[in-house]
Amino acid sequence: MAKKRHLIVGSGAAGLSALRQIRSLSAEDEIKVISMENCLPYSPTALPYLLSGKIEEPKLWTADKDYFDQLRADLVLGKRLVAVLPEKKEALFGRGGKENFDTLLIATGSEPLFPVVEGMKEGEVLGFHTLKDYQEILQRMKGKPKAKSVVLIYGGGLVAMGLAQGLIKKGYPAKVIVRSRILRRYFDPEAGALVDKVFSSHGAEMVTGSEIDRVGKKGKKWEVFLSDGSQLSGDLLVNCLGTTPRVSFLEGSGIAVDGGIVVDRSMRTNKEDIYAAGDVAIAKDFFYGKEGGNAILPSAVEQGKIAGSNMAGEVKEYEGWVSMNVFHFFGKGAYSIGLTNGDEGMEVLKDGGKSKGWYKKLTIKEGRLVGAVFVNVDVDPGVMLYLIKNRLEIEKVKEKILEKPGQVSRWLMARNERA
Amino acid sequence: MRGFNDTLAIRRMSCPEGCRACEQACKKRLGVSVIKTVQLPEEGFSSVVVCNQCSEPDCMGVCPTGAISKNGTNGIVTIASEKCVGCGLCALACPYSGIFYDEKQGKSFKCDRCDGEEPRCVKACPYSVLSYVKSRTVIPHFHEGDLLSAGTGLCAGCPLELGARIMLKVLGKNVITFRTPGCQPIFMSRVCSVPTLMTNIASSMTGASRYLRKIGREDVLCVCYVGDGATADVGFQPLSGAAARKEHILYICCDNEAYMNTGIQSSSTTPLGAWTSTTWVGEEVKGKMVEGKYMPLIMLMHDISYVATATVAFLEDYVIKLEKAKKAAMQGTAYIHLHTPCPTGWRAPVESGIELSRMAVETNYFTLWEAEDGRVRFTHHVEKPKPIKDYCGMMGRFSHLKEEELKQLQKVVDRRYALIERLASSEPI
């Protein structure tokens, strides 16, 4: 077979996963990875920990030059994708760059959502999505007295809470402004309240149920006016409202976009030889085969691997994404896996709550586990995910799982593996 | 031998209730335990979970700082602690519970297989639920020259030859073998061999071993490969004496449970109920009326460096034990009790030798264990032991046994097994 030329745009989890997969399947093909940033690949997931001082900047890089050398791939930095021409099999980059490809993977990730609020200007109000954002936050907080400098965080998702934790651990008071309640996407009100309580006890202030109406500056301080009429002031305002797939460069390309890049089970777009994976992709979900985005690292890795296989010519199908996340906060763990809301036709079992300091919840559909939430419970989240993904029959032991989730889930997994 | 990595194996699914020896040993080394016992007695389940060192680890792909890597040479997957941010995504990605999140330190930990040394958990496991499988243990010995000469004077199907061939492959040329009148095939080998009497074998070895040490040839191993009569009956006193003095010898007893070479006369290891030419079956007498002597435990009580049981059905186990015994015999006495079925004397089909040995293990009639410096551990555990009648049914020597007599023999088996199990769970003798 003739040597192929693979182009991977984006050096995040999906891009690197595809790179490893292509190389493991074909020794000869040419692979080029292009990043819009001017630094080695890193994951935004690690940024809050960089902020809290848990790791040093040199330890941040997921891959270095040796890594690309070993995989015999070229890494090109600082080039931003501006257009894709599927018919010509060309990708155009800023400042006149052009690359040809036999297969293309678009793994450009996501960009922060910026709200339309009076007085909020991008650049002045920071985000927390890139290494540059992190460096900017450090720069602006430099020299400010720690205990007295308040950071206002707008949003209550995992990025917001991770940032809040990082700041608190560094000694800065953080105020989290949430439109509804924290971690809404992953945790129900009971689980969220538990997390909220722990954050509050560590000095974070939670302002829930309010939107920001407008912001202004008074001297060096930010003035924030909320929808309930109250007012907050702080030294720094960071927007963490969420992210959206980075797809603006696809306009006019003919590649189907619907919130993100729509792909089939092989992670292929509507155009031959053009694939998408990771935060940017709209792929099928595990339970219903419905299309949607799932901007989390584990999905990016899986999708990158599937895309890589198909790009290298080995047909692989994606089994679909499962919504999930882990959040470790102040010595406690919170896990959310699968369909945790308990929709129609699902049975919900729960135990614990705010007063007990822990929480467990299982959602079951047709005798099989489809979702699980645990806060401050000794359990292995990967094994729970195993039970869900393998669609194990748990009807007879569901109460037992709720009672002793760690032991029972490991037992079910081991029994299934060794059967 | 690329492509073969040593493996931490979980042998069976039932650990003894309440045992956490592996967790404790692991915690002692790392501060946290990266192996976990899972015990659900009500479901009849107790086992452990630990990292499988996957060939394509899912944990590695999701790590946001690239802290997890797989060693290309030994296959071990490790987390570089200084790069770990403690996000816990690896524990979410691993379906096998191989990642352990420590909330106190806020970091993930996993098994690094004791950095290539023999795993602490395996050493600590009293029931050999855990074992360290070195994939190359048996293979290399088969590539060395064969020290056993071609041809055999043994009966058809006799497993003594296999036992001896493997023994010489593992021990090598640098040995002096000792033999007695009997079936053993050592006289057909290409190594130095000394004939002795059945009554003085251990004393002869003592003399040779001491002389070798005196002339500075500690590297030469004195080993015997002799029968149960010479060991448990007529040669017992010299053996007991040599063991008590901790002579530097390796004593291998091939137990075929009677004096086979002279006409199948009963020995003290002949089992309860077995027919021999001196424990016949008639109206009054139904084979041997008393149970057989269990030599391995008697040797254990001599407090010697190494004691093990082995069979020709579990060759890898036998090889590992020979290697350990060889080492131990350089410092003191080592003893291996090798179960060697005798199709002729046991009235069994000639091709059944190895299957007889396997069934002996699977019925717990002959348990596989070893004791290093008095510490007893099983080396093979039978999850669901078969009834003794499955073993007896394979041989003519037990064909006269009725239900009641089989029950008696089952009792002997159960009692002996329980005793070894107790020893395995207790402190060193």
Report pLDDT for A95: 87
The tens digit of pLDDT for each residue in A77-96 reads 999 999 999 999 999 999 88
Residue B12's pLDDT band (cuts 50, 70, 90): low
Residue B178's pLDDT band (cuts 50, 70, 90): very high
Report pLDDT for B127: 80
B324 class by beta-carbon count within 10 Å (0-12 exposed, 13-18 middle, 19+ buried):
middle
Cα angle A311, A317, A318; round to 5 = 105
Choosing among A20, A358, A411, which should be mutated to test the B contact, i.e. which has the most B CBs within 10 A? A411
- Cβ contact (<8 Å) for A45 and B61? no
Contacts of A65 (CB under 8 A, 6+ apart): A40, A75
- Cβ contact (<8 Å) for B63 and A59? no
The one-letter code for the residue type at B147 is L
Contacts of A124 (CB under 8 A, 6+ apart): none
Residue B136's pLDDT band (cuts 50, 70, 90): low
CA–CA dist B304, A256 (Å, integer): 77
Residue B200's pLDDT band (cuts 50, 70, 90): very high
Taking the Cβ of residue B15 and every Cβ of chain A, the question of whether any pair is shorter than 8 Å is answered with: no
How far is C-alpha A417 from the geometric centre of its chain's CA atoms? Answer: 30
Query: Taking CB atoms and an 8 Å cut-off, how many pairs form between chains A and B?
Result: 125
CA–CA dist A32, A1 (Å, integer): 19
CA–CA dist A239, A122 (Å, integer): 9
Report pLDDT for B7: 85
Report pLDDT for B137: 61
Report pLDDT for A343: 86
* CA R_g for chain B: 24
Spell out the alpha helix ranges (H) of A142-188: 158-170
Side-chain half-sphere exposure of B215, counting CA atoms within 13 A? 7
Q: Tell me the residues of chain B between 267 and 296 that have a Cβ less than 8 Å away from chain A.
A: none
CA distances from A142 to A101, A134, B99, B269 (A): 45, 12, 37, 84
Q: Closest-CA residue in chain B for A13?
A: B62
**What number is the ipTM of this complex?**
0.94
In sequence order, the β-bridge partners of residue A170 are: none
Q: What is the arithmetic mean of pLDDT over B2-18?
A: 75
Paired tokens of B292: 């057989």
Report pLDDT for B1: 37
Choosing among A19, A43, A67, A279, which should be mutated to test the B contact, i.e. which has the most B CBs within 10 A? A43
Report pLDDT for B292: 95
How far B23 CA lies from chain A's nearest CA (Å)? 15
How far A63 CA lies from chain B's nearest CA (Å)? 7
- Which among A59, A324, A383 has the least Cβ separation from residue B83? A59
The tens digit of pLDDT for each residue in A200-225 reads 999 899 999 889 999 998 888 999 99
| Phi, psi of B407, deg, nearest 5 | -60, -40
In sequence order, the β-bridge partners of residue A175 are: A152, A205
Residue B340's pLDDT band (cuts 50, 70, 90): very high
The answer to whether B377 and B308 have CB atoms below 8 angstroms apart is no
Choosing among A24, A202, A383, which should be mutated to test the B contact, i.e. which has the most B CBs within 10 A? A383
Paired tokens of A319: 């089994």
Question: Of the ranges A324-333, B96-105, B149-158, B420-429, which one carries the lowest mean pLDDT score?
Answer: B420-429
In sequence order, the β-bridge partners of residue B237 are: none
Report pLDDT for A88: 96
Report pLDDT for B148: 85
How far B321 CA lies from chain A's nearest CA (Å)? 28
- Cβ contact (<8 Å) for A326 and B91? yes
Closest CA to B279 of B199, B154, B269: B269
- Cβ contact (<8 Å) for B85 and A418? no
- Cβ contact (<8 Å) for A49 and B87? yes
Choosing among A328, A379, A391, which should be mutated to test the B contact, i.e. which has the most B CBs within 10 A? A328
- Cβ contact (<8 Å) for A297 and B99? no
Report pLDDT for B14: 73
- Cβ contact (<8 Å) for B106 and A337? no
In sequence order, the β-bridge partners of residue A205 are: A175
Chain A CB contacts of B82 under 8 Å are 55, 59
How far B19 CA lies from chain A's nearest CA (Å)? 15
User: Who has greater pLDDT, B425 or A91?
Assistant: A91
Chain B CB contacts of A333 under 8 Å are 88, 101, 103
Side-chain half-sphere exposure of A355, counting CA atoms within 13 A? 1
Q: In this prediction, what percent of chain A has a pLDDT beyond 70?
A: 100
The tens digit of pLDDT for each residue in B348-403 reads 999 999 999 999 999 999 999 999 988 999 998 888 899 999 999 999 999 999 99
The one-letter code for the residue type at B130 is L
Per the listing, tokens 């797939």 go with A245
Say if residue A278's pLDDT is above 90: yes
Contacts of A164 (CB under 8 A, 6+ apart): A153, A174, A176, A199, A204
In sequence order, the β-bridge partners of residue A334 are: A327, A375
Q: Closest-CA residue in chain B for A17?
A: B61
The answer to whether B194 and B177 have CB atoms below 8 angstroms apart is yes
Q: Closest-CA residue in chain B for A44?
A: B64
The answer to whether A222 and A175 have CB atoms below 8 angstroms apart is no
Taking the Cβ of residue B14 and every Cβ of chain A, the question of whether any pair is shorter than 8 Å is answered with: no
Paired tokens of A183: 């971690």
Chain B CB contacts of A380 under 8 Å are 91, 94, 97, 99
- Which among A42, A301, A331 has the least Cβ separation from residue B62? A301
How far is C-alpha B315 from the geometric centre of its chain's CA atoms? Answer: 9
Say if residue B2's pLDDT is above 50: no
How far A366 CA lies from chain B's nearest CA (Å)? 22
Q: What is the arithmetic mean of pLDDT over A112-126?
A: 87
Straight-line distance from the first to the last Cα atom of chain B, in angstroms, rounded to the nearest whole number? 39
How far B385 CA lies from chain A's nearest CA (Å)? 19
Straight-line distance from the first to the last Cα atom of chain A, in angstroms, rounded to the nearest whole number? 41
b/e string for B129-152 if b means 16 or more Cβ within 10 A?
Answer: bbbbeeeebbeebeeeeebbeeee
CA–CA dist B199, B203 (Å, integer): 9
- Cβ contact (<8 Å) for B87 and A326? yes
Report pLDDT for A360: 97
Q: Give the predicted TM-score (pTM) of the model.
A: 0.73
Per the listing, tokens 């496991």 go with B125
Residue B10's pLDDT band (cuts 50, 70, 90): confident
Paired tokens of A54: 């848990």
Report pLDDT for B255: 97
Sign of the dihedral through C-alpha B87, B88, B92, B94 = positive
Q: Closest-CA residue in chain A for B11?
A: A418
Per-residue DSSP letter, B278 = S
* CA R_g for chain A: 23
CA–CA dist A395, A367 (Å, integer): 5
Q: What is the arithmetic mean of pLDDT over A373-386?
A: 96
Question: Of the ranges A174-188, A359-373, B119-133, which one carries the lowest mean pLDDT score?
Answer: B119-133
How far A47 CA lies from chain B's nearest CA (Å)? 9
CA distances from B109 to A235, B37, B309 (A): 38, 16, 38
Instruction: State chain A's mean pLDDT as an integer.
Output: 94
CA–CA dist A264, A316 (Å, integer): 11
Cα angle A414, B56, B122; round to 5 = 50
Report pLDDT for A72: 96
